[in-house]
């Protein structure tokens, strides 16, 4: 009975994959060399820099993964620290936790387009959060940030790929705004869960939101979005390790400087494998494929009479007015303020886009609208 229920669920999941365009995750088969590890516990317990006394971990691969990503994000060899998280929300929490250690009592500033996890993290840490207006496309209003800071110490959460439009907050402009505002202290965490790795790979040098120069103090990315890990996970990277390490007297693996004591060794294993298998050139090809598919989708939707737009030329997110019934049911997607989107992950093909555009065109013809939401200025 149980096997039959699971078989039925798997068939439903396979069917759902055919209309998966509205959310940023994607699925790809894992090779047998990886799936064999799921019969065994892999626990990356505690400090990512220290191995435990037991063998069932992948902390050596985790460190190699962090080093590779630190290179991509421009961190200096002697200014890097990081670990594999359970997802983007934990990465945000880790960044704000470290920021609070360095600037106790400072306010957290984030745009109104930031992910909901930012406000939750600030609440958990008992930090005062201030929402900064965002423009029509979702990017932070920097003059508004400057006015709100007014000489205070400031912790800023920059979003690199907002949830709805994939807008990108400009970290150097945030730094400049803090300087003009006379901020008495500053820390910037880049929530780059959605777009961080594709944009970093597209940059000729260290990305402007990365860990070099006037970039961020810490960055977090997701592993189940662009990279396609089949379960939520992520990576937190910083210019340095935690400001205060908890001394627990734990002889197995040192102080648990990561937020979680027991962490998924399977996530580190798969992330390490994907970076090794693709290499930077292969990852760039994946990013280019998604961007090209997004360009195609934008043109196709607009040509079909349903105006679409992207927040910037590298965006893989295509935004448009929420289509009429039954499109949002057949093709699950968010709807916020009358806007929806599709996200062109590496798993989204042009053939799938063609089917989606046909569905939108047919629904629009059956239920004509008097007004369409056009591209914002």
Q: Is residue 92 part of a domain?
A: yes
Structural domain ending residue among the three candidates 252, 278, 304: 278
Q: Is residue 90 part of a domain?
A: yes
Distance CA 91, CA 66 (A): 14
My answer on whether 40 and 93 are in the same domain is yes
Radius of gyration of the chain (CA): 21
Q: Is residue 371 part of a domain?
A: no
- Say what the pTM is: 0.93
User: 15 in the Ramachandran plot: left (φ > 0), alpha (ψ -120 to 50) or beta?
Assistant: alpha
**Local structure of residue 294 (DSSP, 8 states):** H
Distance CA 66, CA 21 (A): 29
Task: List the beta strands (DSSP E) in the chain.
Answer: 81-85, 107-111, 129-132, 154-159, 186-191, 218-222, 234-238, 308-309, 317-321, 339-343
**Local structure of residue 36 (DSSP, 8 states):** G
Instruction: Render each residue's pLDDT in the chain as its tens digit; 377 residues.
Output: 899 999 999 999 999 999 999 999 999 899 999 999 999 999 999 889 889 899 999 999 999 999 999 999 999 999 999 999 999 999 999 999 999 999 999 999 999 999 999 999 999 999 999 999 999 999 999 999 999 998 889 999 999 999 999 999 999 999 999 999 999 889 999 999 999 999 999 988 899 999 999 999 999 999 999 999 999 999 999 998 875 545 545 545 555 566 778 999 999 999 999 999 999 999 999 999 999 999 999 999 999 999 999 999 999 999 999 999 999 999 999 999 999 999 999 999 999 999 999 999 999 988 755 544 455 65
Distance CA 136, CA 134 (A): 7
My answer on whether 123 and 191 are in the same domain is yes
Give the SS3 label for residue 229.
coil
Q: Is residue 374 part of a domain?
A: no
Report how many domains make up the chain. Answer: 2
Measured CA distances, 260 to 255, 295, 304 (Å): 11, 40, 48
Distance CA 83, CA 50 (A): 12
Q: Is residue 356 part of a domain?
A: yes
* Token pair 């990465």 in the structure block, residue: 91
My answer on whether 214 and 324 are in the same domain is no
My answer on whether 24 and 52 are in the same domain is no
Q: CB within 8 A of 182, min separation 6: which ones?
A: 149, 150, 151
My answer on whether 21 and 99 are in the same domain is no
Q: Nearest Cα to 258, choosing from 246, 269, 270? A: 246
My answer on whether 188 and 333 are in the same domain is no
Q: Nearest Cα to 352, choosing from 286, 314, 291, 297? A: 297
The domain containing residue 316 runs over which residues? 2-28+287-366
């Amino acid at each position: 009975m149980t096997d039959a229920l699971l078989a039925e669920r798997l068939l439903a999941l396979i069917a759902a994959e055919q209309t998966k365009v509205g959310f940023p995750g994607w699925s790809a088969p894992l090779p047998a060399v990886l799936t064999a590890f799921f019969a065994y516990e892999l626990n990356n317990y505690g400090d990512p820099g220290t191995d435990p006394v037991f063998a069932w971990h992948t902390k050596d691969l985790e460190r190699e993964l962090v080093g590779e990503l630190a290179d991509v994000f421009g961190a200096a060899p002697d200014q890097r620290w990081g670990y594999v998280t359970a997802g983007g929300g934990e990465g945000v929490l880790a960044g704000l936790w470290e920021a609070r250690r360095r600037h106790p009592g400072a306010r957290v500033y984030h745009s109104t387009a930031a992910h909901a996890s930012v406000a939750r993290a600030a609440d958990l840490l008992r930090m005062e959060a201030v929402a900064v207006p965002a423009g029509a496309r979702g990017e932070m209003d920097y003059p508004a940030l400057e006015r709100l800071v007014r000489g205070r110490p400031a912790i800023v959460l920059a979003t690199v790929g907002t949830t709805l439009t994939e807008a990108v907050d400009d970290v150097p402009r945030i730094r400049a705004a803090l300087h003009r505002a006379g901020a008495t202290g500053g820390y910037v965490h880049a929530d780059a869960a959605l777009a961080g790795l594709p944009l970093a790979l597209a940059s000729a040098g260290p990305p402007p939101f990365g860990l070099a120069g006037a970039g961020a103090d810490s960055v977090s990315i997701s592993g189940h979005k662009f990279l396609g890990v089949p379960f939520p996970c992520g990576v937190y990277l910083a210019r340095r390790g935690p400001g205060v390490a908890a001394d627990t007297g734990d002889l197995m693996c040192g102080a648990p400087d990561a937020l979680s004591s027991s962490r998924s060794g399977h996530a580190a294993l798969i992330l390490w494998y994907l970076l090794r298998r693709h290499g930077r050139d292969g990852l760039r090809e994946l990013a280019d494929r998604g961007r090209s598919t997004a360009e195609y989708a934008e043109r196709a939707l607009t040509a079909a009479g349903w105006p679409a737009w992207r927040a910037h030329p590298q965006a893989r997110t295509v935004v448009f007015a929420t289509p009429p019934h039954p499109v949002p049911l057949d093709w699950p997607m968010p709807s916020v303020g009358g806007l929806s989107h599709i996200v062109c992950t590496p798993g989204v093909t042009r053939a799938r886009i063609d089917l989606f555009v046909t569905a939108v065109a047919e629904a629009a013809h059956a239920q004509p609208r008097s007004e369409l939401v056009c591209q914002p200025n």
